[in-house]
Structure 1
Amino acid sequence: MERGTIMKDRLIAGGLAGIAGAIIQITYGIITEALGITDRSFDEFAKVLIMFKPYKGLLASVVGAISHICIGLVFGVIFAYLILITSSRFLMIKGIGYGAVLWMLLLGFGTIFELPDFKDIPPQPALSIFFGAIIYGSITALTLKYLESRTKL
């Protein structure tokens, strides 16, 4: 198999893994918001990145979900290439660490740039978002591992 084909497979696998992580993360966010654990879901952060203003309604939620899935895809591809540079050993630990780093970076930059929904996050929602980031990293790692076992990456 030539090198270009391997890279394309890694790109697709990373994208699919990131999409899977994002979908599970959105589901987790909806559940925690419904249970009153947090007042913010992950698609709301994604809405702000696209529209700046946290609009309400079904269409805004669709935009937020699409945006979140696209962001998950991009971070999944980055994770897949980071694993290519390092190795697939300790993949779950790397996934958890990756999620934690994304939590810190994304919320940090959202706070620095004073984006709506990012500033003044109380401790309980911040911790809920942290667990959601860990879930994203874990699901992305598990999906990538599954795809690696099923294809030649």
Structure 2
Amino acid sequence: MIRDKIVLGGLVGVFGKLAMDIFQLPMWKMKLVKHPLAHYAGSLLLDVGTIHHTLFGSAVSFMADYIYGIFLGIIFVYFVYCTGKRHLIFKGLIFGAFLWLFSFGVIRSLPIVKLREAVPGSALYQLFFHLVFGLGLGISVKLLSQRRWIE
């Protein structure tokens, strides 16, 4: 049984990021999306030219993105703890929609994020990715609570 909310949040954050990457990375490779969210996270730490032109830049970018996903998973678990375990999938979608506005809309526009590029279609793709992330969080918490792995 997982009783520690931080450990549980980290776990569901990884599940949410994996769900997001299942859709995001192939779309990036097919050039439907110019930058995956990892590039935006990596631009906090590295120069824009480094984040996707070197193996080191890609590794740092994806680690930063997963760490951010873990942190968001922890916040989601505390959100669920405060509001109850009912309607977890809907709560996950709401959380994902909020993250799209906050992360992609607000944080991306801050000067600390060096990568600012966003084409119009990309914003809609990013909404989809954030909804998938929220859905992954909600489904993960729901499955773990049904199996009595969490209280």
Task: Give the shorter-chain TM-score range.
Answer: 0.7 to 0.9
1:103 aligns with 2:100: yes
Residue of structure 1 equivalent to 2:43: 48
Which residue, out of 67, 88, 91, partners 2:64? 67
How far off its partner does 1:115 sit?
A: 2.5
Report the Cα distance in structure 2 between the residues aligned to 1:120 and 1:64, rounded to whole angstroms: 16
State the percentage of identical aligned residues: 22
Residue of structure 2 equivalent to 1:28: 23
How far off its partner does 1:116 sit?
A: 2.8
Q: 1:96 touches 1:134 (CA, 8 Å); kept in 2?
A: yes
How far off its partner does 1:46 sit?
A: 1.5
Structure 1 outlier segments of 4+, above 4 Å: none
Q: Which runs of 5+ in 2 are unaligned?
A: none
Greater Cα shift, 135-144 or 18-27: 18-27
1:133 aligns with 2:134: no
Report the Cα distance in structure 1 between the residues aligned to 2:80 and 2:49, rounded to whole angstroms: 34
Q: Number of paired residues? A: 146
Matched position secondary structure for 2:60: helix
**TM, length-normalised to structure 2:** 0.87
Residue of structure 2 equivalent to 1:147: 144
How far off its partner does 1:43 sit?
A: 1.3
Q: Which runs of 5+ in 1 are unaligned?
A: none
Matched position secondary structure for 2:79: helix
The one-letter code of the counterpart of 1:103 is: W
Matched position secondary structure for 1:67: helix
Residues 63 and 94 of structure 1, relative CA distance in 2, 3 Å threshold:
same
Report the Cα distance in structure 2 between the residues aligned to 1:147 and 1:54, rounded to whole angstroms: 40
**TM, length-normalised to structure 1:** 0.86
Report the Cα distance in structure 2 between the residues aligned to 1:114 and 1:77, rounded to whole angstroms: 23
